[in-house]
Amino acid sequence: MDIVIRPPDAALETMPEVVRTMHTASGLLDELAAGTTLADAEAQVLAYVREHVKEPGKAPLCGNSVGTDRGFLARDMSALETYLHYRIVDVSSVKELARRWYPRAYFNSPEKSGNHRALADIRESIAELRYYREAIFVPQPGPDSETARTIAAKHVLPAQ
């Protein structure tokens, strides 16, 4: 699914030059004239989400630094936002942990194209999370129950 939303003309007129250059290079500016409305985009995405997630509040929002995206969705696409789970899978949090705990994994993570298009960003975030899963997490099937309980017991805080 690749949807282009046509912004108001006023937003285009006030676009900073660095943003204009970025979106010209990605081809986005050329596609805006044929773009759809915010309401139509929400309806299309919501129909797609409903194909895969039958009840509201269950779909996780995933990606890089998606906390800001969640705010935009709550403000501008409230029907879609109700389908999202309250928890967020933020790949940038995993990336920050890798940078601190496993710097070799962090500094050898997959290159990104950086074209700043939503679909490409989504695909790159999925690839990046798969990379970190393989590079820094315990291999499948994970620890057995006894090992998990032993590890958990080491990290229980004393009652206060």
Which amino acids are annotated catalytic?
Answer: 86
Residue with token string 């999202």: 84
DSSP character string of 20-80: HHHHHHHTHHHHGGG-B-HHHHHHHHHHHHHHH--STT-EEEEESSTHHHHHHHHHH-HHH
Kindly give, in sequence order, each residue whose CB lies less than 8 Å from that of residue 143, ignoring residues fewer than 6 positions away.
151
Smallest Cα–Cα separation from 66: which of 47, 87, 37, 97?
A: 87
Contact 66, 88 (CB under 8 A): yes
Sign of the CA dihedral running 77, 82, 86, 87 = negative
